[in-house]
Structure 1
Amino acid sequence: DILEMGNLLGTKISINEFVAFVELAQLKGQIDPRTFVIATYALCGFANFGSIAIQIGGIGGIAPSRRSDLAKLGLRAMFGGALASWMTACIAGILI
């Protein structure tokens, strides 16, 4: 299950969570049910490279002079969001 989970997390970060959820649905009978629940929590959220561009474009429109600051913080924000989802998945794994 570790390889499948790692593949899903990589897909979520590099492409987006929707593609990762489609791949997770195809794995439903092949992985442990506990892994499936943990993966569901780990894949929630919008922490991916496309979201960095959305963040820069959306917030940058409100504060155009701060776009360079947003670009500098974009990667950190993405990883911070991913870590928040992964910590939620860890708590779910403890509780189930």
Structure 2
Amino acid sequence: MLTGKQKRYLRSMAHHLTPIFQVGKGGVNQNMIKQIAEALEARELIKISILQNNLDDKREVAEELAAGAGAELVQLIGHTVVLYKESKEQKTIVLP
């Protein structure tokens, strides 16, 4: 579980990132969760955008992505989700 200070630090790091995944009309599926987990292992911090044609509640989508990938939900702002998961192999982010 991340503290408020750690989330604030991660939000500042994620500000300049561009979303690398999009959740569309099909919603969240196992293949997408697997790819997100692999991306988190490589990058530790990623952004995901939820497209307008997705009819699911964006909060539920964000929580489903975080739970499926075993990551922490750092931020949900607008239609953008920021996820963090500490890498086992390539740790680069040092939390305060």
Q: TM-score, normalised by structure 2?
A: 0.35
Larger radius of gyration, structure 1 or 2?
1
More strand by share: 2
More helix by share: 1
